[in-house]
A and B are shown apart, each in its own frame.
Chain A
Amino acid sequence: MNPVNYLYLSALLFTIGAAGVLVRRNAIIVFMCVELMLNACNLAFVTFSRIHGNLDGQIIAFFTMVVAAAEVVVGLAIILMIFRVRHSASVDDANLMKL
């Protein structure tokens, strides 16, 4: 088996995540699909690192994880705040910029 198969898997996971972001309306599930896309990118980075024989890909994946953690913290705080005001986590209900 060639490691390129990992790239195919990562492409599939990314596609599924992107379709989920387009289809779902619960903000938390949309967020989870974004996480899935980030994870797919990480898998591609790790595989590239192995194909090229240097560790820069793993460094990038590491930074992606850090940024994802920061993103999740802020994003979930925003979802929680919208839920407090609107009593709903659906992205359809948040149709105003102000709360």
Chain B
Amino acid sequence: MNVLAATTSTSTGEAVQFWVLGTIALVGALCTVMMKKAVHSALSLAGTMIILAVFYLSQGAYFLGIVQIVVYTGAIMMLFLFVLMLVGVTSADSLKETLKGQRWLAATCGLGFGILLIAGIGNASIDSYAGLGKANADGNVEALAALIFNRYVWAFELTGALLITAAVGAMVLTHRERITKPETQRELSQRRVREGKQVTPLPAPGVYARHNANDIPALLPDGSIAEVSVNKTLRARGQMRDVSNEPMSNVAELEGQAESWLGRVTPKRVVRQPEENGSPESESEGAAK
């Protein structure tokens, strides 16, 4: 079968494409292994997979090229990102090795394995190839369908069963049985009043008119921060940005200006916001402006 129409070399365009994209694919693979944050790894891997899809397309595997983009980069990689977001993006993997010399051993193993594989391929001395022109004559998808639904139909049915089992298995694994009855709104409010710690709703994050980001805690009347105003997850990650220093210094400045305006101290500088001169003390909750 492969004696027919044997060619020895691809077109120059494909060669150029291979050397350019192949280099990028290798860099992407290395980044997948070496990047510290899992999201960066996932994105590099997605890039490598798209390049592999281009290689499939240029090698006459049109169906597989599209499936690679749709299933791998579209579904599987997004599933990875989804789980990464659930598990916590900021949990950067510590690259400190716990087993002594593990990294060098792994690198040596990898290098040896790679040399073995490449030497094996180099020994095979394949200098001509058949090409898919004849096999793809009636269209790649039609030819694949003829094979799947004739010779490989049993394997195809089995993969269907495998997929269903996997879907059910994932649902069973991630399902959590609820042990207690969920609390209703009435019970929650009653508990709040009984405990008496925080009866009112929690304060909203942000400082009046300056920062309304979710990670910035609100300021209490005395200028200290209200920790409960920031989301619990952000607090646990230590991602709370305390901006209380700036408003507090502003307030101090305003108070100084008020003193000077009342004539207790000699004025040193021009008042910047004359409309706020009336009662600077009452501004202390909003703090900045």
Contact = CB atoms under 8 A, between A and B. Distances in A.
Answer yes or no: are A and B bound together in one complex: yes
A39 B72 contact: yes
A76 B173 CA distance: 10
B193 interface: no
B135 interface: yes
Nearest to A4: B126
Main SS at interface, chain B:
helix
A77 B30 contact: no
Contacts of A25: 93-94, 98
A94 interface: no
B98 A92 contact: yes
A74 B159 CA distance: 15
Nearest to B81: A28
Contacts of A23: 33, 102-103, 106-107
A23 B129 CA distance: 37
Main SS at interface, chain A:
helix
Contact of A13 (B25, B79, B167): B25
Contact of A77 (B56, B127, B163, B174): B174
B61 A69 contact: no
Given A25-B93, A56-B147, A70-B163, A6 B41 contact: no
A22 B106 CA distance: 6
Contact of B32 (A36, A51, A92): A36
Interface residues of A, number: 71
B132 A50 contact: yes
A16 B33 contact: yes
B52 A42 contact: yes
B30 A16 contact: yes
A50 B79 contact: no
B285 to A, nearest CB: 37
Interface of A: 1-9, 11-20, 22-26, 28-29, 31-33, 35-36, 39, 42-43, 46-47, 49-56, 58-59, 61-63, 65-74, 76-81, 83-84, 88-90, 92
16 contacts: A2-B9, A2-B126, A6-B55, A9-B18, A20-B33, A25-B93, A25-B98, A29-B41, A32-B42, A36-B32, A46-B59, A51-B129, A54-B1, A62-B64, A76-B79, A81-B173
